[in-house]
Structure 1
Amino acid sequence: MSGDRYKIQDQQGCYFNTMTVVHWIDVFSRREYRDIIVESLNYCIGNKGLKLYAWVIMSNHVHIVGQIENELGMSGFLRDFKKHTSKRILEAIEEIPESRRE
């Protein structure tokens, strides 16, 4: 099955993950939105058992290398992380007016 290709077998294993913005929109060109990712990663390190080995935020995607050292597992972490950060970024986009000067 092609769906099994991306299924995480070892939930506590170390993985390279890429999370992309829908339609590859350059959301992370603004510092406010990058800060949401950084704050969320720091929260997960302190509270969700994330062991982060490397990460980079590009203009329209995020790469992380890490593992989860508890029962949440990598699938649970990715689900929660993407849900939380996408909600916060959408709220920030609505609250912060867009400036063409940036």
Structure 2
Amino acid sequence: MLLNEVYFWTATINDWKHLLANDEFKNIIINSLEELVSREKIIVYAFAIMPNHIHIIWKMKALNGKEMPYASFNKFTAHQFQKLLQQNQSDFLNQFKVDELERKYRFWQRDALAILMDSREKVFQKIEYIHNNPVQEKWNLAKESADYKWSSAKFYETEIDDFNFLTHISEAL
């Protein structure tokens, strides 16, 4: 990913485990996004947190130290996931154990999908996809996309930003 470009980004929990079904883990993601936005490292245009993956349309504005903000996001959230699981669900934590030199646990699958949003049509198609994901029959997380608490759909329908970190995509186009 390049700085100052808008991307559709999908990150998946390792082995598609439903770690993010629990709201405490969703809040870790929200807190990380909020922090990176407040420090002007990213701009978040749209997102949805699903039980085992997340979709975000965002722009990396500046490096976070020596690393790209998405790397900081992955690192911070993984550390917080581990901490929370160690306190409450050590059996579930063991399902994320890996035999790697640089880490003991892996929460995010390697190589998140990053697609450059190089046209208006592509951006709006992906926003629609993100917002409709929770209402798909497979997930059935809400009846209407704007009713799903863990996405930006309500913001696009009502202009109410419950997360205080969203930027409307029209500002990027």
Deviation at 1:38, TM superposition (A): 0.5
Name the residue aligned to 1:40. 32
The answer to whether the 8 A contact 2:43-2:59 is kept is yes
- What amino acid maps onto 1:91 in structure 2? K
Question: Which of 1 and 2 has greater Rg?
Answer: 2
Q: Counterpart of 1:11 in 2: which secondary structure? A: coil
* CA distance in 2 between partners of 1:97 and 1:11 (Å): 37
Secondary structure of 2:56's match?
A: strand
Paired residue for 1:61, among 31, 41, 53?
53
Deviation at 1:97, TM superposition (A): 4.0
Equivalent residue for 1:81, pick from 73, 86, 89: 73
Q: TM-score when scaled to structure 2?
A: 0.48
More strand by share: 1
Q: Secondary structure at the residue paired with 1:83?
A: helix
Output the TM-score relative to the length of structure 1. 0.78
* CA RMSD after TM alignment: 1.7
Following superposition of structure 1 onto structure 2, how do residues 1-102 of structure 1 map, counting pairs within 5 Å?
8=1, 10-70=2-62, 72=63, 76-97=68-89
Q: Give the Cα–Cα distance (whole angstroms) in 2 for the partners of residues 16 and 96 of structure 1.
A: 33
SS in structure 2 opposite 1:44? helix
Cα distance in structure 1, aligned partners of 2:42 and 2:10: 16
Q: 5+ residue gaps in structure 2?
A: 91-173
Q: Which amino acid aligns with 2:33?
A: L
Superposed displacement of residue 84, structure 1: 0.7
Q: Which has the higher contact order (CA 8 A, sep 6+)?
A: 1
Return 5+ residue gaps in structure 1 as ranges.
1-7
Between Structure 1 and Structure 2, the one with more helix by share is 1
**In 2, distance between residues paired with 1:46 and 1:80?**
14
